[in-house]
Amino acid sequence: MSSKPCCLGDLDRGRYPPVGVRDEIRANLVRKLRSGEPLFPGIVGYDDTVIPQIVNALLARHDIILLGLRGQAKTRLCRQLVDLLDDEVPAIAGSALREHPLRPLTLESRERVEREGASLPLEWIPREARYGEKLATPDVTMADLIGDIDPLKAAHQKLDLGSEKVIHYGVIPRTNRGIFTINELPDLAPRIQVGLLNLLEERDVQIRGFPVRLVLDVLMVFTANPEDYTSRGSIITPLKDRIASQIQTHYPRSLEDSHEISRGEAWTERNGDLPPVEIPPFVADILEEIAFCGRASEYVDQTSGISARLPIAVRELLVSQVERRIIRNPGAHPIARLVDLTQILPGVTGKVELVYEGEQEGAARVARHLIGKACAKVFDSRFPDVMKEGSEPDEEAAAEKRIDRDRYRPVLRWFAAGHRVDISDEMDDASYCSALESVPGLARLADQFLPSTSREGRAAAMELILEGLHQHSLLAKEDIAAGSSYSDMLGIMMEGLR
C-alpha cells in the first residue's frame, strides 16, 4: 500500500486508466483461461455444465442470475467472482461511490477534482471490499438498495432536496466499480424489482421522484430458487428480460462428486485429545446415498430439493457419535458402525421438506426410510443378489442366483431357529463384535465381499449384511433404545398372528 500513489498528481494515468468492472473481469478471466488457473476452486461437479456458462456470460459482459434449488453453491459461486477483480484499484478518498479519480461521477467529486487538482487524495480499494451482497426479503426498501434523501444533510448544508449532494446512497451504488449479489430475488417485492430496471440498463435512478443520472459501474448477479416462483413470489418479466444470462445449477450427479464436496466441507478432522474417527468407505457411501434417495423419494417435496448440506451435516453428526462412544468407553476403536446411523436423524429431518404423504408418515420415519434405502443401495453394490427367482432370462442366470442365495442360507437358518442379534451404539467393542460373530456365515461373507483390516471394521461390514437382508424383507428389524434388534421375519409374522 505504501508504494501506491497517494494523490492524483502521482497517479500514472497509463497504468491505472478508468476501466469498467465488466472489462476488468473479462481481461482477468481471459488471462486465467490462458494460464490454466482454476476459476472456481472448491466448486465440484460444475466443470462441464455451470462453469462454462458462467465463463461465457462474463466474457459477454452479462449480468447473471443463477437459478437452482437450495444447497447448489449459488452464493459460493457469486462470492468467488471476486477473484476475477484486480488486486487493488484507485479511488477518490472519501467518495461514497468509490469513484475513479479520472472519471468522477457525482457533482461533489467533480468539484473536488477541479478544486484540489493534483493534490486530490486517493485511496486504494482491495478486491474483497468491492463485493456487496443482500438477501432479498419482503421488507427491503428502495432506500436500502438505491438510496434516499437525507433531510438533515439538506438542512445543515442549506441545499434543495433535489440536489444530488443530499442523497444518502444505498448498498448498490456504494458497490460501484464492483460486484453486487441479490440472493433469493423472487422474495423482493415487485415494486422494488421495478426500481432495478433502469439500474440494469439505462442507469437512471429515481430517488423520491428526483431523477439522478448515475452511470454506475456494477456487475449485478442474482440467485433464485425455482420453488419461489409459485410459493412466495416471482421475478417480474421486465426485470428477468434485462438479466442477460440465466444459468441453471444442479445437485451433484455422481457419488464421487458428492463425496468430494462432503470431504471438503464437513468438519471431521477435529483437534483435541480424541483420536481421529474412521468412517469406513461403505458407511461414507451410505451418508451420500441418503441425499440421492431423498431426491427420488415419493415422500419428499422434489420442488424444494435436498441440499448438499445434508451429507455434510450427517457426516459431522456421525463423527460426533463415535466421539461420544469413545469418551464413554476409553480405548474403544474410533470407527463408525452402521448402528450409529440412528443418531444422524437430526441432520436429515431438518433438511427434508415433505409432501402430504410424508407428513402423514412423520419426519423421523421418513428419515429412517431414506437411511434404509441408502443402506440397501450400498449393500446391493457390494454383495451378491438376494432377490427371489423368477426374473432370470435363462438357466445359467438362474443357477448363479441360486449360488448367491445359498451364500446367505446359513445366516437365515440361524435366525429361523429363533436366534436374534441385539446391538447398540453404546456397546463396547468386544460385545459388539461378539454379537455379530455369533451368526454363522456372517464373517465369511464380510471377509469375501467387504474385507477389513480390523475386527471392528469387519463387524461393521457384518452389520451391513444384516441390514441388507432386512431391507430385502428376509430379516425382521426392531428399533430399540440406541440400537437395533434383528430376528427372523417369518417368526415375527407368526408371533404377530398369534
Q: Provide the pLDDT for residue 428.
A: 94
**187 lies in a domain?**
yes
Q: Is 144 domain-assigned?
A: yes
| Alpha-carbon gap, residue 151 to 271, rounded angstroms | 55
* Per-residue model confidence as pLDDT tens digits over 47-58: 999 999 999 999
Q: Is the Cβ–Cβ distance between 136 and 189 less than 8 Å?
A: no
In terms of domains, do 164 and 289 share one? no
pLDDT the model gives residue 498: 46
Average pLDDT of span 149-173: 75
Number of domains observed in the structure of the chain:
3
CATH of the domain at 331: 1.10.8
150 and 220 part of one domain: yes
Which of 99, 73, 172, 187 lies closest to 131, judged by CA? Answer: 172
Query: Are 431 and 484 found together in one domain?
Result: yes
**Of 359, 382, 405, which closes a domain?**
382
Q: Are residues 91 and 138 in the same domain?
A: yes
Eight-state DSSP code of residue 387: P
On whether both 41 and 141 belong to a single domain, the answer is yes
Residue 3 lies in a domain: no
Whole-angstrom distance, CA of residue 63 vs CA of residue 76: 17
CB count in 10 Å sphere of residue 220: 21
What are 14-35's pLDDT values in tens digits? Answer: 999 999 999 999 999 999 999 9
Specify whether 312 is located in the same domain as 403.
no
Domain housing 408: 394-498
Do 278 and 237 lie in one domain? The reply is no
* Residues 314 and 166 occupy one common structural domain: no
Q: What is the pLDDT of residue 402?
A: 54
Last residue of a domain, one of 217, 248, 279: 248
Instruction: Based on the fold, state whether residues 353 and 422 are members of the same structural domain.
Output: no
Domain contains 31: yes
What is the model's pLDDT at position 138?
86
- Residue 430 lies inside a defined structural domain of this protein: yes
Residue 319 has pLDDT above 70, yes or no: yes
On whether both 291 and 434 belong to a single domain, the answer is no
pLDDT in tens, 3-19: 789 999 999 989 999 99
Same domain flag for 78 and 178 = yes
CATH number for the domain spanning 172: value is 3.40.50.300
Range with the lowest mean pLDDT among 140-144, 282-286, 360-364, 402-406? 402-406
Residue 427 makes CB contacts below 8 A (sequence gap 6+) with 435, 483
Of 355, 382, 409, the residue at which a domain comes to its end is: 382
pLDDT tens digits, one per residue of 79-100: 999 999 999 999 999 999 999 9
Is 298 contained in some domain?
Answer: yes
Local confidence band at 65 (pLDDT 50, 70, 90 cut-offs): very high
Residues 244 and 255 in one domain: no
Q: What is the mean pLDDT of residues 114-137?
A: 95
Confidence of residue 192 (pLDDT cuts 50, 70, 90): confident
Rounded Cα–Cα distance for residues 338 and 323 (Å): 15
Domain presence at residue 142: yes
Residues 276 and 255: their CA atoms lie apart, in Å, by 24
Asked if the structure places residue 30 within a domain, the reply is: yes
CATH number of domain containing 426: 1.10.10
Compute the average pLDDT of residues 138-150: 85
DSSP E strands, 21-121: 64-67, 88-92
